[in-house]
A and B are shown apart, each in its own frame.
Chain A
């Protein structure tokens, strides 16, 4: 469904990502793990069209989306829940969700709003509250719901559990299971590597801007040479 080949992204003279290749099949949950600065966020940002790439190609759902505007990539069915959630703080929960569904018809949008309120009860409670007043866990749920509003074929999440209390981290992983059971295709960047590998069908390990390993969750967990990567070293 998603095929990335030879992707290189540079900031000035520094290559944040070098020659990265990966594939994601329909219905898969794929993890991207690795220490800080490994290039995970750069990889997602490059796929989503936020960062200008230096080399490589990206195809999604049969179409070439290399160097395409983010709003077009979203329209092709690929959504990103960005790092730090990036919710619109001075807009209400409902307004944030509506923006998430800006590409859908208004009748469909109304139905999707209902679905999100069912899937995330906490959002229903805060429906008319400016999103900036929400806690980190609530904001994370809003960020995910907002991305789901576009009915993406594939949803990418950048560090959904970052900065959350342990009980809320549990909630995020439960949510991943729920989304998986709905048959969604998901790519998740996680610092919490062991936990991610337990959930993911497959995962890629990044270090210093390169993909250094890939395999099923269990295969990677069994590789002792990657241990320092899993603990964030």
Chain B
């Protein structure tokens, strides 16, 4: 029982980061049908900033906001330089563009910073745990889960209660009709990228803290987890993306604990098998909503 609880908390912690990444992927996909394979760069770029700041003796208190701000800026700049040029192009063109952005950013760091692993020191409390009965809970997990729920709450408020949120949802549901209502396409797309960058920034703080290092290809894993989680939840559904993130995190942790010791290394493989099974039975993901025209 206590082992299960322990795993659930670990899984929620892991899933929280995936949920934030997936939600960012889903927001951008919803608005312009771009499956953004460059989403991980919103972790790589702040990661190098974190490395630079760390070598200049910044504390994590200063570093965390800097990571978030740089992720938002990176998201906006990438939209401006790359994605704004392929608006309205086929999904495939946009997908390739996002791959291109990933390779250019990775190559840039490779050329100008080097291929080596750059270490970033974790905060002193990182490995601390608190005991709750027989449970040993990592402080890191508690902070991640708390911060994620706060951010998800704020994002829900933004989407439900503000005109920007309504415009974003309307544009995601039917872009042309939203423009007919006066929703400005530039503003709503930039807003979506800013929100996506903000969510990636929050996730990035924890991702970078946990990894304690950055490399030119550091963005690949967070991008894959974010895209996978969004697909699991059902692309186009924001709730689905969040759910997908938590499901993915829990699946990883629970599988690792249930699998016999000698095949634990295959956890990721088993996760992919489960995802394949999910797509056989629900090709649209967990929360895919069929669009029916009512008369």
Contacts and interface: CB of A to CB of B under 8 A. Distances in A.
A115 B291 CA distance: 31
B185 A89 contact: no
Interface in A65-87: 69-71, 74-75, 79-80, 82, 84, 86
Nearest to A165: B295
Given A71-B182, A150-B182, A82 B173 contact: no
A146 B181 contact: yes
Contact of B295 (A48, A69, A132, A136): A136
Interface stretch (B1-9, B13-21, B164-172): B164-172
Nearest to B163: A102
A70 B183 CA distance: 9
Contacts of B289: 90
Contacts of B183: 71, 99, 102
A82 B179 CA distance: 12
A77 to B, nearest CB: 11
B182 A103 contact: yes
A88 interface: yes
A20 to B, nearest CB: 20
B174 interface: yes
A58 interface: no
A147 B185 CA distance: 18
B127 interface: no
A150 B183 CA distance: 11
A91 B180 contact: no
B176 interface: yes
A134 interface: yes
A134 B123 CA distance: 54
Contacts of B176: 50, 70, 82, 86
B163 A70 contact: no
B268 interface: no
B182 A89 contact: no
Given A102-B163, A134-B294, A163-B295, A74 B170 contact: no
A99 B167 contact: yes
Contacts of B166: 91, 95, 98-99, 102
A100 interface: yes
28 contacts: A50-B179, A70-B176, A70-B179, A71-B179, A71-B183, A74-B180, A79-B180, A82-B180, A84-B293, A86-B176, A86-B180, A88-B170, A88-B173, A88-B174, A89-B173, A89-B291, A90-B173, A90-B289, A91-B166, A91-B173, A99-B170, A99-B178, A99-B181, A99-B183, A102-B163, A102-B181, A136-B294, A147-B181
Interface of A: 48-50, 69-71, 74-75, 79-80, 82, 84, 86, 88-91, 95, 98-100, 102-103, 106, 132, 134-136, 139, 146-147, 150, 163
Given A50-B176, A74-B181, A95-B169, 16 more contacts: A70-B176, A71-B180, A86-B174, A88-B170, A88-B173, A88-B174, A88-B177, A91-B169, A99-B166, A99-B167, A99-B170, A99-B183, A102-B181, A103-B182, A134-B294, A136-B294
Task: List the 9 closest pairs (A to B, CB-CB), nearest first.
Answer: A103-B182, A70-B179, A74-B182, A86-B177, A163-B295, A136-B295, A99-B170, A88-B173, A71-B179
Interface of B: 163, 166-167, 169-170, 173-174, 176-185, 289, 291-295
